[in-house]
């Protein structure tokens, strides 16, 4: 299948900083891609470029369209939730549903109302009377009722409590996501999404430092728990990272043969957060 | 068309308070004041012995009124409708001034622009819906409320007259409430055209500024006026500062005022001007012959185009 997003040599320069430095990547349909990076790494800029909200240099095509010039057409197929609390504070639930239903050609009103029926939201409630979690429920109900090809989520669960966060991703997975849809998500709460991601992209200082699917992560990276006496041997094998737990050392290896590592100790697949921390070492130093 | 309709509806939802309640409350306050002053008048008249309670005014027979007096009374009644409409339109002008200033700025400040931009709506449609709200929706609501207010005042006045033994029908026949209403409504398109320079300027500032659009909108015309005046004073530029004030600064800032077309229309000056003469559509619409009016419209459209362009790339404050 054709990639839904293709970027090559994508660059964006602000007055005093480079946000994206000649980045290239492809995103295939039916994937859930985690775009992960430290603050200021260029994640939001990359998303904004895909959504036609910012100008850029280089080539970028989303669903075969140029986001800069064909934005109106593109937005029929692309939805996004940028952060929580971007819904206008004056709007009522009823008005929001009415409005989107009448301006979006791919909106399914019955679906939206079914989602809302499962929340505590009432039609006359205004956004300013809602908690952050309720605002996200409303936004999610609106977005999930739109039959779009791409859903972009920029820190969608920031500031929500754990109940809302779990519910958010669960709804997305169970009732929204399918083979025809692609979800691109940025977040700092990596642990919560790592089991739902199919692809992983690390971004640092405007460059993509890792672009892989989750199956490959297990083959390429390995975490080994090594006893003190073997630590020196392990260090010679150029680990990415080393940390100490209960008198043992945990080493993170990239691309070292698993058979060789097994000799050192117990192997397991590293978590995305450990991988992230190891990759981003020294970012803020 | 459907999108545009819903966009305008959206503007109304958001600004119901300014577009509807502000005029309505103004009217209610004025009505209250009118009723209170009428009561005071009656009571004081009664104390002075002018109005005995049977109603008739001492020393004055209603039948005494001449035709001319009756006509004057009719003009006064017509004028009261106009006056009411102007009061309400003045309130609306203030509301619309701040509406335009906030129209492309407030949603950037509270970041709700990210929600609106996630919908497949062209920027020009969004901005057109806001311009139509300022030029059509708000003036129509204000005019209707203003005229209703005028008619209520009229009824109030007639009741008082009847109480004092006048024949209310005589007055009503001398007045032209329906014609006045129709003509006030028919002047809205002219008003909208003449208001465009201010609307365009305020929306341009609203789309452009990263903070305090109000200050920018005010400072730029005033400062430029000052510079023109200074250049004129030192003889570098032969541009009259007073001309500039009247034709640039004032039109950028104050073109939302009621009856904003008067400076362009060639009103004939009668000795005996009735309200109907002032409202005469031909006389007022003769403003359309003025190239200055069209220069303003063109400037307004250019500024709105600028606002559309800015809106495309400015999603943050």
- CATH no. for residue A45? 3.40.50.300
pLDDT band at B76 (very low <50, low <70, confident <90, very high): confident
Inform me whether the C-beta atom of residue A76 falls under 8 Å from chain B C-beta atoms: yes
CA angle A123, A128, A134 (to 5 degrees): 65
Shortest Cα distance, chain A CAs vs residue B315, angstroms: 7
Record: contact A87-B115, CB cut-off 8 A: yes
Residue of B nearest to A91 (CA): B14
- Domain extent, residue A228, equals 216-279
- What value does the mean pLDDT of chain B take? 87
Distance CA B72, CA B83 (A): 16
Contact A82 B114 (CB under 8 A): yes
Give me the number of domains chain A comprises: 2
Contact between B77 and B171 (Cβ < 8 Å): yes
- Chain A residues in contact with B112 by the CB 8 A cut-off are 86-89
The answer as to whether A250 is a domain residue is yes
Q: Do A86 and B13 touch (CB under 8 A)?
A: no
For residue B17, give the chain A residue with the closest CA. A90
Pairing of strands A18-27, A5-13: antiparallel
Specify whether A50 is located in the same domain as A149: yes
Beta strands A78-82 and A150-154, pairing class = parallel
Q: Is B39 on the interface with A (CB under 8 A)?
A: no
A153: which 2 tokens?
């989520």
A128: contact with B, CB 8 A cutoff: no
Taking the C-alpha atoms of residue B165 and residue B41, their distance in angstroms, rounded to an integer, is: 16
Of A185, A205, A225, the one marking the end of a domain is A205
- Same domain, yes or no: A201 and A257: no
Q: Identify whether residues A145 and A196 lie together within a single domain.
A: yes
Which chain A residues in 137-176 lie under 8 Å from chain B, judged by CB atoms? Answer: 139
Name which of B107, B118, B120 is nearest A72 (Cβ-Cβ).
B120
Interface contact flag, B120 A76, Cβ < 8 Å: yes
* Domain-located, residue A10: yes
Contact B121 A54 (CB under 8 A): no
Instruction: Answer whether B115 sits within 8 Å of A103, measured CB to CB.
Output: no
The token pair at B256 is 């939302």
**A165, A57: one domain:** yes
Same domain flag for A227 and A154: no
What confidence category does residue B269 fall into, taking pLDDT thresholds of 50, 70 and 90? low
Residue A284 lies in a domain: no
Q: Which residues of B touch A72 (CB under 8 A)?
A: 120-122
**What's the pLDDT at B60?**
58
Same-domain pairing of A221 and A201: no
Query: Distance (Å) from the C-alpha of residue A86 to the closest C-alpha of chain B?
Result: 4
**What pLDDT shows up at residue B53?**
55
Q: Region of B299 please: left (phi>0), alpha (psi -120 to 50) or beta.
A: alpha
pLDDT of B19 strictly over 80: yes
Last residue of a domain, one of A147, A181, A205: A205
Give the whole-number percent of chain A exceeding pLDDT 70: 98
- Tell me, what's the pLDDT at B160? 84
For A174-222, the pLDDT digits (tens) are 888 988 899 999 988 888 888 889 999 999 888 898 898 888 888 888 8
**Cβ partners under 8 Å of residue B140, min gap 6:** B185, B188
**What pLDDT is attached to residue B172?**
80
What is the strand order of the sheet A5-13 is part of? A18-27, A5-13, A57-62
Q: Does one domain contain both A232 and A155?
A: no
Domains of chain B by residue range? 2-313
Best-predicted range by mean pLDDT (A8-22, B20-34, B35-49, B58-72)? B20-34
| Nearest chain A alpha carbon to B116 | A87
B chain contacts of residue A54, beta-carbon cutoff 8 Å: 313, 315
A80, A81, A127 from A186: Cα distances, Å: 12, 11, 24
Residue A84 lies in a domain: yes
Residue of A nearest to B315 (CA): A53
B121 close to A (CB below 8 A): yes
Q: Do B313 and A100 touch (CB under 8 A)?
A: no
Residues A34 and A144 in one domain: yes
Q: B87 near B22, Cβ under 8 Å?
A: no
Q: Is residue A285 situated within a structural domain?
A: no
Query: If we measure between CA atoms, which residue out of A156, A183, A168 comes closest to residue A78?
Result: A183
Of B46-55, B156-165, B304-313, least confident by mean pLDDT is B46-55
Chain B stretch 8-27, residues whose beta carbon is closer than 8 A to a beta carbon of chain A: 9-10, 13-14
**A178 and A243 share a domain?**
no
Disruptive mutation site among B111, B116, B119 for chain A (greatest number of A CBs within 10 Å): B119
Q: What is the DSSP string of B261-278?
A: TTTTS-----SS--HHHH
Q: Which residues in chain B touch residue A73, judged by CB atoms under 8 angstroms apart? A: 120
How many CB pairs below 8 A link A and B?
70
User: Which range, A206-210, B61-65, B289-293, B302-306, has the best average confidence (pLDDT)?
Assistant: B302-306
pLDDT tens digit sequence for B1-17: 889 999 999 999 999 99
A194 and A270, same structural domain? no
Assess if residue A274 is contained within a domain.
yes
Model confidence at B204, in pLDDT bands (50, 70, 90)?
very high
Helices (H), chain A: 43-50, 71-74, 93-103, 109-117, 132-144, 162-171, 190-193, 214-220, 231-236, 258-262, 272-279
Those of residues 100-119 in A touching chain B at CB distance below 8 A are 100, 102-105
Pair A188, A65 in one domain: yes
Same domain, A157 and A258: no
Taking only the tens place, the pLDDT of each residue in A86-99 is 899 999 999 999 99
**Site from A53, A69, A132 to mutate, B interface, most B CB atoms within 10 angstroms:** A53
| Of the residues A152, A177, A205, the one at which a domain ends | A205
Residue A210 lies in a domain: no
Q: Does A55 touch chain B (CB under 8 A)?
A: yes
Are residues A207 and A43 in contact, defined by beta-carbon separation less than 8 angstroms? no
Q: Which residues of B touch A74 (CB under 8 A)?
A: 120
């Amino acid at each position: 299948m054709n990639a839904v997003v293709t970027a090559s040599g994508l660059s964006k320069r602000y007055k005093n900083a480079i946000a994206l430095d000649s980045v290239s990547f492809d995103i295939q349909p039916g994937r859930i891609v985690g775009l992960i990076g430290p603050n200021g790494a260029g994640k939001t800029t990359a998303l904004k470029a895909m959504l036609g909200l910012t100008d850029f240099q280089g080539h970028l095509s989303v669903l075969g369209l140029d986001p800069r010039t064909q934005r109106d057409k593109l937005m029929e197929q692309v939805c996004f939730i940028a952060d929580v609390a971007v819904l206008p504070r004056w709007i009522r639930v009823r008005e929001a549903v009415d409005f989107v239903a009448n301006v979006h050609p791919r909106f399914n009103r019955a679906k939206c109302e079914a989602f809302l029926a499962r929340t505590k939201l009432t039609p006359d409630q205004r956004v300013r009377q809602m908690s952050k979690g309720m605002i996200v429920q409303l936004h999610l109900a609106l977005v999930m009722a739109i039959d779009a090809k791409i859903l972009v989520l920029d820190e969608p669960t920031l500031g929500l409590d754990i109940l809302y966060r779990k519910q958010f991703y669960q709804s997305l997975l169970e009732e929204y996501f399918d083979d025809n849809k692609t979800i691109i998500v940025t977040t700092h709460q990596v642990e919560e999404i790592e089991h739902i991601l199919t692809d992983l992209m690390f971004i640092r200082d405007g460059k993509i430092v890792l672009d892989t699917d989750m199956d490959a992560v297990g083959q390429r990276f390995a975490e080994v728990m090594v006893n003190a006496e073997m630590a020196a041997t392990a260090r010679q094998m150029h680990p990415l990272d080393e940390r100490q737990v209960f008198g043992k050392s945990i080493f993170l290896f990239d691309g070292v043969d698993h058979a060789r590592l097994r000799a050192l100790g117990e192997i397991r697949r590293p978590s995305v957060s450990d991988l992230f921390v190891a990759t981003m070492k020294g970012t803020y130093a | 068309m459907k999108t545009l309709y819903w966009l305008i509806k959206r503007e109304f939802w958001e600004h119901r308070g300014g577009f509807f309640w502000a005029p309505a409350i103004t009217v209610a306050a004025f009505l209250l004041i009118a009723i209170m002053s009428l009561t005071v008048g009656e009571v004081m008249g009664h104390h002075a012995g002018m109005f005995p309670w049977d109603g008739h005014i001492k020393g004055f027979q209603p039948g005494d009124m001449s035709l001319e007096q009756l006509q004057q009374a009719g003009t006064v009644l017509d004028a009261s409708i106009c006056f009411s409409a102007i009061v309400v339109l003045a309130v609306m002008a203030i509301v619309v001034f701040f509406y335009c200033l906030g129209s492309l700025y407030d949603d950037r400040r509270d970041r709700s622009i990210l929600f609106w931009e996630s919908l497949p709506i062209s920027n020009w449609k969004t901005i057109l819906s806001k311009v139509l709200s300022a030029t059509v929706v708000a003036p129509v609501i204000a005019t209707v409320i203003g005229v209703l207010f005028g008619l209520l005042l009229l009824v109030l006045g007639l009741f008082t007259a009847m109480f004092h033994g006048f024949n209310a029908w005589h007055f009503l026949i001398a007045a032209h409430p329906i014609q006045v209403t129709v003509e006030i409504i028919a002047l809205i398109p002219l008003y909208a055209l003449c208001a465009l320079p201010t609307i365009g300027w305020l929306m341009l500032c609203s789309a452009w500024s990263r903070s305090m659009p109000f200050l920018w909108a005010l400072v730029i015309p005033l400062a430029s006026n000052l510079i023109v005046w200074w250049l004129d004073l030192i003889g570098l530029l032969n541009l009259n500062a007073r001309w500039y004030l009247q034709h640039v600064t004032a039109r950028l800032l104050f073109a939302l005022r009621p009856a904003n077309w008067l400076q362009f229309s060639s009103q004939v000056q009668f000795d005996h001007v009735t309200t109907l003469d002032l409202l005469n559509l031909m006389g007022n619409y003769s403003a359309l012959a003025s190239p200055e009016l069209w220069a303003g419209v063109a400037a307004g459209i250019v500024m709105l185009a600028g606002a559309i362009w800015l809106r495309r790339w400015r999603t943050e404050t």
